[in-house]
Structure 1
Amino acid sequence: MSVLHALVPAPVLSLMILGLWLALAPQITPGQFVLGAVVALAIPRLTAAFWPDRPRLARPLAALRLAGTVLADIVVANFAVARRVVGPLHRLHPAFVEVPLDLRDGFVATILGSIVSLTPGTVSIEIDRERWILFVHALDDTDPQQLVDTIKRRYEAPLREAFAC
């Protein structure tokens, strides 16, 4: 293990923490930068034991594309859910859907479940790691296979690409 890796075990996470610290600071001063850097270096080291099998991000650009897709889907789904909820409730078709997973990494599957839950109108309920199935509740779903295909195409495939799993 190199000295640099020992000092900064998760450089991307450290940069994100520093960026968030500076974004929330009332003013960006040298003192805020130093304090933010200390926090950004300390948090990954202090939380490393909670992430024993954390996979490495193999393709950061794929992860950025996925983040853009998720953000766009959240905005679009907010309007779609609002329109459905304001309309007649008898038109809603709630459903439980089983999404078979191609990925076999628990951490990445958890990220997928989080993405599904962040998107309004769907909530991930459980990840069955024996059969590798993601259980999803959809607020309005008339075609379960289309929902499965959408989750696999828009979220699972880019996650597998980003984490090379």
Structure 2
Amino acid sequence: MMRRLFPAPLLSLALLAMWLVLNRDYSLGQWILGAVVATIVPVMTHSLRPTPVRIRHLGLAFRLFMMVGWDVIVWNWKVLRGTLAAPAKQPQGGFITVPLDLRDPNGLAVLAAIMCVIPGTIWSEMALDRSALLVHIFDLDDPDEEIRLIKARYERPLMEIFE
């Protein structure tokens, strides 16, 4: 009964907290409205969520999180230097096609988030059969090296975490 009423308890708590913070009103009425929203939205959107998440290696997930954080810092500087560079030294961007071994929908969603949060990379398109990914790289020197880096740095750990 509780699982049907609260199919995603953490999502419900997050929705309630966000409701209260965004309304900047902590009266009883707002608590009740927030609780109603936090109960109804997860039930109504249950079919939209991908398969249940099963994280197999929490330590590896934390290391991946820290590595992505570091990459965000490093790439912010690279993009800043590239945009401020003289026209003759500006980076040459381009597209690469990354063959994918990762099949878990949650892992693919995390990979999409990683590719979009790191400055200088954009997840552009995924093949319908999920076998390849088109990524735009801000400063593309060696396409093969970038493919190897994405697979080793992000895809392989995601496969260990989710599959």
Q: TM-score range by the shorter chain?
A: 0.7 to 0.9
How does 1:123-162 map onto structure 2 within 5 Å? Answer: 123-130=122-129, 132-162=131-161
Structure-2 separation of matches of 1:103 and 1:70: 18
After TM superposition, the score normalised by the length of structure 1 is 0.78
Percent of residue pairs identical: 39
Q: Assess, with a 3 A threshold, how the Cα gap between structure 1 residues 74 and 32 changes in structure 2: closer, same or farther.
A: farther
Q: Distance in 2 between matches of 1:32 and 1:67?
A: 34
2:51 to 51, 54, 79: 54
> Computing the radius of gyration over CA atoms, which structure comes out larger, 1 or 2?
2
1:31–1:70 distance in 2 versus 1, CA, 3 Å: farther
CA distance in 1, matches of 2:160, 2:98: 18
The answer to whether the 8 Å contact 1:113/1:127 transfers is: no
Q: Secondary structure at the match of 1:140?
A: coil
Deviations 1:3-41 (A, max 9, x none): 121011122322332343344342545544443333222
Per the alignment, residue 38 of structure 1 pairs with 36
Q: Is the 8 A contact 2:96 2:134 kept in 1?
A: yes
Cα–Cα, structure 1 residues 36 and 155, in superposed 2: closer, same or farther, change >3 Å? farther
Return the offset for 1:83.
1.2
SS of the residue 1:35 aligns to:
helix
RMSD of the TM alignment (CA)? Answer: 2.7
Residue 54 of structure 2 aligns to a residue in which SS? Answer: coil
Q: Which runs of 5+ in 1 are unaligned?
A: none
Q: Distance in 2 between matches of 1:16 and 1:117?
A: 23
- Give how far 1:107 is off: 4.7
Per-residue deviation, 1:44:
1.3
CA contact (8 A) 2:100 2:133 kept: yes
Q: Does 1:74 align with 2:72?
A: yes
Residues 96 and 143 in structure 2, CA contact (< 8 A), matched pair in contact too: yes
Other-structure match for 2:108: 109
> How much does 1:127 deviate?
0.9
- Cα drift, residue 48 of structure 1: 1.7
Give 3-state SS (helix, strand or coil) of 2:45's partner: helix
Pick which of 151-160 and 133-142 moved more.
Answer: 151-160
Contact in 1 for aligned 2:126/2:133 (Cα 8 Å): yes
For structure 2, the residue ranges without an aligned partner over 5 or more in a row are none
